[in-house]
Chains A and B, each alone.
Chain A
Amino acid sequence: MFCDEALEVVESIAAGDLIADGRIAGHLETCADCAAALESARRVERLLRQRAAPSAPAHFTAATLGRVRRARWQSDQWLDAGFNLAVAAIVVAIVAAVWMVLNRSGLAAVSGDAVHLFGSGLATFADRVAPAVPLYAGAAALLATALGIWWWAEGKA
């Protein structure tokens, strides 16, 4: 029975948290098993104290900050996508509401003329703009390339 009590405190004795009092000290002197357990506990304690504490690798800070930047960029992308979707949904809802109001109030028939007028205006505008289309297309391609490079660089950072 006393061995159980002694074995319960060998870790504390080995760690220096407890000083073996007369009764336990006496038992440890006479009981070979408990003395061996104390010796094992002391070895474990010594090995634990000598255990290496590895330092972070040299590139750790840079790699961590890169990972944080990537995570922030990804979360911004999600936020942007959510915002764009919300705007698109609002535009669709407004168009649908306007269309329903026009339909119910009978203004749709009148608006047919307005649509025709708008269409012919658009055609005239397209005729005038057509000669400059290659120039606009080139500028748009340049802008798209710059945006693509920026997106790629952000992804790599």
Chain B
Amino acid sequence: MDPATERALVLRCRAGDDDAFRELVDEYKNLVFALIARTVQDRGRAEDLAQEVFLRVHRGLPYFRGEARLSTWIYRIVANVCVQDQSRGRTHVSLDDERTSVRPSAADPQFRDLELRDRLEKAIARLPPNYRLLVAAHYLEGIQYEELAAALQLPLGTLKTQLHRAKQQLRRLLETDLR
């Protein structure tokens, strides 16, 4: 969405136009949902948190000054909602959790790949919340480095360093399984 259209949409939302807010939700719902679903794993919880994001957007629109892009502001809300949710109660996820692990036939490469993905998701769940969000956002199409840095209020260099560390931690968590 170009900045002019974005500004017009925000103005219409602020004037109490419900159709404009519907447009805003439709525009950002997939990115917001994907970002949260990649961070919290549980789809039901992700839906609840994504709705919470739009509730906060609706409440905050009268105070949105338009200094940042609307998308940047929304990603910042996503980050706050995810971090708050994760600080409420974090369960330790083991990479060998019997209850949820995929138990493939070792010889089948497709199943082997499925197992790797399963282990990757569990390894991501063990990352600190800010790293988890970074990994979720960076590999999501449509989110730029600069926008992510602005949303998380981090200098671009720090963001890249944190992303690098997050991937390093992931590799170390998975290393024994991948070899």
Contact = CB atoms under 8 A, between A and B. Distances in A.
Interface in A30-74: 36-37, 39-41, 43-45, 47-51, 53-57, 60-61, 63-65, 67-68, 71-72
B18 A56 contact: no
Contact of A43 (B25, B116, B135, B141): B116
Interface string B142-179: 00000000000000000000001001101100110011
A68 B29 contact: no
Given A43-B178, A53-B34, A64 B167 contact: no
Interface residues of B, number: 37
Contact of A54 (B43, B58, B116, B141): B43
Interface string B25-40: 1100110111001100
Interface residues of A, number: 32
Contacts of B174: 40, 43-44
Q: Tell me the interface secondary structure of chain A in the complex.
A: helix
A56 B50 contact: yes
A37 B29 contact: no
Contact of B179 (A40, A51, A55): A40
Nearest to B52: A67
Interface string B96-134: 000000000000000000001100100000000000000
B54 A68 contact: yes
Interface of A: 10-12, 14-15, 36-37, 39-41, 43-45, 47-51, 53-57, 60-61, 63-65, 67-68, 71-72
Interface of B: 18, 21-22, 25-26, 29-30, 32-34, 37-38, 43, 46-47, 50-51, 54-55, 58-59, 116-117, 120, 135, 139-141, 164, 167-168, 170-171, 174-175, 178-179
25 contacts: A11-B164, A14-B167, A40-B174, A41-B167, A43-B178, A44-B120, A44-B170, A44-B171, A45-B167, A47-B116, A48-B120, A48-B167, A49-B139, A53-B38, A54-B33, A54-B43, A56-B34, A56-B50, A60-B33, A61-B29, A63-B51, A64-B50, A67-B51, A68-B54, A68-B58
